[in-house]
Chain A
Amino acid sequence: MTAYIVKRLIAMLVTLWLIITLTFFLMHSVPGSPFNEERATNETVQKNLEKYYHLDEPLIVQYGLYLKSVVTLDFGPSIKKSSQTVNEMLGRGFPVSFELGIVTLIVAVISGITLGIIAALRHNGILDYTAMTIAVLGISIPNFVMATLLIQQVAVNWGILPVATWVSPKHMILPTLALATGPMAIIARLTRSSMLEVLTQDYIRTAKAKGLSPVKIIFKHALRNALLPVVTVLGSLAASILTGTFVIEKIFAIPGMGKYFVESINQRDYPVIMGTTVFYSAILIMMLFLVDIAYGILDPRIKLHKKEGS
C-alpha cells in the first residue's frame, strides 16, 4: 500500500510537471503580451516592465525561473493587478469555488444515484422513463443555458431566489442547480445501467434464495457493485464540475477562481494563467488518485499493491 502510494505520488509529480511545461510554452506561443493594449504604452516604460517581469529573457530562462518559483510554491505577482500576488488570488477565490464545487458534487452524486436506482427498479416503467427523460435533458442542456434559464424563471419571473452573487446559502441554490444537472444526469444513467446489470447477477439470486428482503438485496448486495463504474467517472466528473465553475461563476458573479482564470487569459496575465492552471491540475490529479483509492476500498478484488495471493 505505502509503496503504491509513493509510486503514485511520483507519477503525479511527473504529470504535474508535464502540465506546467505544456501550459507554459502554449501560453507563450499565443500572440500578444500583457502590455499589448489599445492604449499605447511608452516604449521605455514597457521595456522596464518587461525587464521587471523577466519577459525580456529567452523563453527557456523564463521557464527555468518559473519552475523554481513553483517548487517554492510562490506563483509570483499578477501583472495586471499589480497589488496582488497569485497566491493571494487563489487564497481568496479557491474557498468559494471549492464550496460551489463540493456542494454541486454532493447534490449531483446523491440525486443521480437515487434517480438511477429508482429507474433501475422500475425498469421500463413510468418512473424509469421519467427519470431517464430528466437525465437526457440534463446531459443535453449545457450548464450556461441552464443557468440563464434558471435566472430568468426562478429569479426574475418568480422572484423567489436572488439573481446573482454569493452572500448567503440562498444564493448558492441556483448556481448549484445549474452546475449539478449535467453530472447528475450522467451519474443517473450510469447507475441505472450498471444497477440493471448487477440485478441479473447470480449472487443477487443467491441473496434472494437466502430470504433477504428487497431493501437489503438492493442496498447491501447490488448497490456496492453497481457503484464501481460510477466511482470511475467521478474523478473526471469532478474535473468537469470544477472547470464548469468558470462559466457559472462568471454568470452568477461569484467571486471564485473562475473569474481570475477567464480574465487572466484575456489579459495575457501570465503568472495568473499559470497559477490557476497548475492549481487546478494539482486538484484534479489528486481527485483521480482518491478515486483509485476508493475503488480499492469498494472492490476487494482490486489490489493497490502488487503481490498478495494471485
Chain B
Amino acid sequence: MAIVNGEKTAARSAPLTETSFIGWLHKNLFSSWINAILTVVSIYIIYVAVKGIWVWGVEEAVWVAENRRECFKISKDGACWAGVIQWLENIFYGRYPRPELWRVNLGGLLLVVWMAPLWLPRVKNKIFIGLSTVFLYPFLAGYLFAGGDKGIFMQVVVSGAIICLIGNTLHTIIGVFSGGGLPENLTRLLGKTDASDQNQRNTLLAILAAAFVVVFLLQMGWTVEVVPWTKWGGMFLTLVISGIGITSALPGGIILALGRRSRLPVIRVLSTSFIELFRSVPLITILFMATTMFPLFMPEGFVLNKLVQVTIAVCLFSACYMAETVRAGLQAIPMGQYEAAHTIGLGYWGTMGLVVMPQALKHMIPNIVGSFIGLLKDTTLVSIIGLFDILGMLRSISQDVPWRGLHKEPLLFGALLFFIICFIMSKYSRHLEVKLSAGANR
C-alpha cells in the first residue's frame, strides 16, 4: 500500500534570511555579537575616511587658480588641484616638446593596435604577433620617440616593423570578418590556391619583398625631429623604462633560468650567483651602482647617459627576478614532457624551445603581468637618481615658483593614477590565472 499524493506540493518561498535585506544583514553583518562590533567599527572607519577625503579633496578643494597663493586665498583647508591640473602635460609626458606630443600618443596607439589581435578570438598566428610586438615594436616606437637621422640598421628595422604592423592589422581584420589569415587570402586573391606549396610560398615571399622595398623607399624621406633623452619624462618615461625592463627581462630571464638549471657546473654556478647577487640587494643600490660605477667600468671617452645607465640597471634587476619566475614555470612542467621530446629525437634546444618553453610560458603569463606591475611600481625609484619620471615630476611641482610647496596633492594624484593602472592589470592577471588553470584542469 502506498500513499501517493497526487498533487504537487506548492513551492515554498525561500526563507526570509535568504531573500530579505534584513536577513542578508543578519547573516552577513550581525551573525554574532563579535561580528556586530566589527561591523560597527568598520562602518565608523569608512565614515571617517570617506568624509575626510571628501571634505578636503572635493568640497573645500580649489580647481582653478593661477598660483598657490590664490589657492590659499580661496580656501585654506582644501586641496589645491589647480596646480596639478596645470602640470598635467608634464606629469604625463615630462618635458617632451609640446608640438611633438603626437609622437608619444601615436606610439601608445600603435602598441594597442599591435597587441589588440592577441585578445581577439578568431585571429590565428598569435605567437607571431606576440613575438613581433617584443622584437619589432620597440624599434619603431624607439625611433618615433627619439627621432633624428636613421642609420641603415634603423631604416631596415623600422621598415620591417611598419610592414609587420600593416600585415598584422590586415591579418586581424580578415581574421575577424571572414576567418582564415592573410597568407591564405592573398593566395586566394591571386588565384594560386591550386599551385604547389613551394609556388605559394615563393609568391608570398615575393609580395613581402616588394612591400618591403616600397616601404623602405617611402620611409627614407620620413624623419622626425630629435628629442634628447633629457626631455623624456613623466608617466611616459616610467612606462618606457619599465616596458624595456620587462621586454628585455624575458629573454634574459629565460637564459639565466636555463643556465641555473643547466647540467654544466660552471654555467650553473655563474648563473646562480648572478641571479642571487642582484636579487639580494635593493634596487636603489643597483641604481646607485649604475650611476656611480658603470661610468668607471667603461673605457675612457665612452659615455653613457643617465637614462641608459638606469635602464641597464633596471633590465639586469628585472631579468634576475624574471629568471626565478621562469624557473618556477619550468619546474611545473612534468618530466614526461622532457622524456617524450628526447624520444622523438629533439636535442636540448629543440626540447626547450619547441616543447617545454611554450607550455611553461603560457603558465607564466599571470606571473609576468605581476612582475610588470611590480616593476612599474619600482621604477619610481629612478626619481631618487634625478630622472623626471612620474614621481620626479610630481615632486617638482612643489619647486615651481608659482606652486611652491604644493606637494601633497600631486602625490595623491600619482597614487590614484598608479592604483588605477596597477589594479586593472592585477585584476586582469588574476582573470588570466583562472582562465588558464581552468584550461589545464579540463
The finding on whether chains A and B are genuine partners in a shared complex, rather than unrelated, reads no
